[in-house]
Amino acid sequence: MKNFFSPLFDKDMVITVLGICPLLVAATNSVTAVTMGMVALLSLILINIIVSGMRNIISYDLRITIIIFVSATLVNVIHLCMQTWFYELSLVLGIYIPLIAMNCLVLANAEEYALQNNVLNSFLYSLKVGIGMVFLIIVVGMFREITGYGTVLQQSELLVGDMARSWKMTLLNGDSGLPFFKSAPGAFFVLGLVIALTNFMDTRTEHPTSP
Amino acid sequence: MDINQRPHLMKLVFTLSGVAFVCVLILLIANQMTHRQIADNARLQQLRIIDAVMPIPHDNALYDDTIKVIDPQYLGSENSVTVFRARNADQPIGLVLMPVTAKGYSGNILLTIGIAYDGTLLGVQVLKHQETEGLGDGVDQNKSDWIKVFTDHSIVKPPVEAWTVKTDGGEFDQLSGATITSRSVINAVRKSLEYYQINRDNLYLDQSNTEN
Residues of chain A with C-beta less than 8 angstroms from the C-beta of B134: 148, 179-183, 186
Residue B17 has a pLDDT of 93
Question: Between A77, A179, A181, which is nearest B135 by CB?
Answer: A179
β-bridge pairing B66-69 and B91-103: unpaired
Chain A residue whose CA is closest to B42: A87
Most confidently modeled of A15-24, B26-35, B121-130? B26-35
Q: Where are the domains of chain B?
A: 3-51, 54-203
Chain B residue whose CA is closest to A144: B134
A146 CB within 8 Å of a chain B CB: no
Quick one: which of B141, B96, B100 has its CA closest to B121? Answer: B96
Tell me whether residues B15 and A62 touch, CB distance under 8 A: yes
Residue B131 has a pLDDT of 85
Residue A39 has a pLDDT of 93
Question: Between B37, B135, B176, which is nearest A84 by CB?
Answer: B37
- What span, in angstroms and rounded, lies between the C-alpha atoms of B11 and A88? 44
**Mean pLDDT throughout B158-177?**
85
Residue A22 has a pLDDT of 84
Most B CBs within 10 Å, among A62, A67, A145, A155, to test the B interface: A62
What residues does A210 pair with on adjacent strands?
none
**Mean pLDDT throughout B119-140?**
85
- What span, in angstroms and rounded, lies between the C-alpha atoms of A10 and A110? 19
**Mean pLDDT throughout B197-211?**
72
The 8-class DSSP code of residue B158 comes to: S
Residue B145 has a pLDDT of 82
- Categorize the per-residue pLDDT at B189 as very low, low, confident or very high, splitting at 50, 70 and 90: very high
C-alpha distances in Å from residue A35, one per residue of A44, A113, A183: 14, 25, 18
Most A CBs within 10 Å, among B133, B143, B181, to test the A interface: B133
Residue B63 has a pLDDT of 84
A88 CB within 8 Å of a chain B CB: yes
Cβ neighbors of B49 (< 8 A, separation 6 or more) are: B98, B112, B125, B127
C-alpha distances in Å from residue A134, one per residue of A16, A32, A105, A176: 12, 12, 12, 28
Residues of chain B with C-beta less than 8 angstroms from the C-beta of A186: 134
Residues of chain B with C-beta less than 8 angstroms from the C-beta of A91: 45
- DSSP codes joined into one string, chain A: -HHHHHHHHSHHHHHHHHHHHHHHHH--SHHHHHHHHHHHHHHHHHHHHHHHHTTTT--GGGHHHHHHHHHHHHHHHHHHHHHHH-HHHHHHHGGGTGGGGG-HHHHHHIIIIITTS-HHHHHHHHHHHHHHHHHHHHHHHHHHHHHHTSEESTTTHHHH-GGGGGG-EE-S-TT-S-HHHHSHHHHHHHHHHHHHHHHHHHHHHH-TT--
Task: Give me the residues of chain A with pLDDT under 50, please.
Answer: 1-9, 211
Mean pLDDT of chain B: 86
B34 CB within 8 Å of a chain A CB: yes
Other C-beta atoms lying within 10 Å of the C-beta of residue B109: 26
ipTM for the predicted complex comes to 0.79
Most A CBs within 10 Å, among B9, B19, B179, to test the A interface: B19
- What span, in angstroms and rounded, lies between the C-alpha atoms of A69 and B23? 7
Most B CBs within 10 Å, among A60, A64, A66, A180, to test the B interface: A66
Asked if A111 contacts A96 with a C-beta cutoff of 8 angstroms, the reply is no
Chain B residue whose CA is closest to A180: B134
Residue B49 has pLDDT above 80, yes or no: yes
- What span, in angstroms and rounded, lies between the C-alpha atoms of A108 and A120? 18
C-alpha distances in Å from residue B208, one per residue of B54, B202, B211: 21, 9, 7
Residue B129 has a pLDDT of 86
Residue A8 has a pLDDT of 46
What residues does B114 pair with on adjacent strands?
B96, B123
Residues of chain A with C-beta less than 8 angstroms from the C-beta of B44: 87
**Mean pLDDT throughout B173-178?**
84
- What span, in angstroms and rounded, lies between the C-alpha atoms of A203 and A198? 9
**Mean pLDDT throughout B185-202?**
90
Residue A11 has a pLDDT of 57
Nearest 10 degrees: Cα torsion A37, A38, A44, A47: -150
Other C-beta atoms lying within 10 Å of the C-beta of residue A103: 24
Asked if B141 contacts B112 with a C-beta cutoff of 8 angstroms, the reply is no
- What span, in angstroms and rounded, lies between the C-alpha atoms of B178 and B189? 17
Residue B23 has pLDDT above 80, yes or no: yes
Quick one: which of B74, B175, B169, B98 has its CA closest to B131? Answer: B175
Question: Between A66, A92, A155, which is nearest B19 by CB?
Answer: A66
Tell me whether residues B41 and A184 touch, CB distance under 8 A: no
Q: Which of residues 141-200 of B touch A (CB under 8 A)?
A: 142, 144, 176-177
Question: Between B16, B26, B132, which is nearest A73 by CB?
Answer: B26
Residue B212 has a pLDDT of 42
Tell me whether residues B133 and A183 touch, CB distance under 8 A: yes
Other C-beta atoms lying within 10 Å of the C-beta of residue B135: 19
**Contacts for A62-70: CB closer than 8 Å, 24+ residues apart:** A62/B12, A62/B15, A62/B16, A63/A111, A63/A115, A64/A107, A64/A111, A65/B16, A66/B15, A66/B16, A66/B19, A67/A107, A67/A110, A67/A111, A68/A101, A68/A102, A68/A107, A69/B19, A69/B20, A69/B23, A70/A110, A70/B19, A70/B23
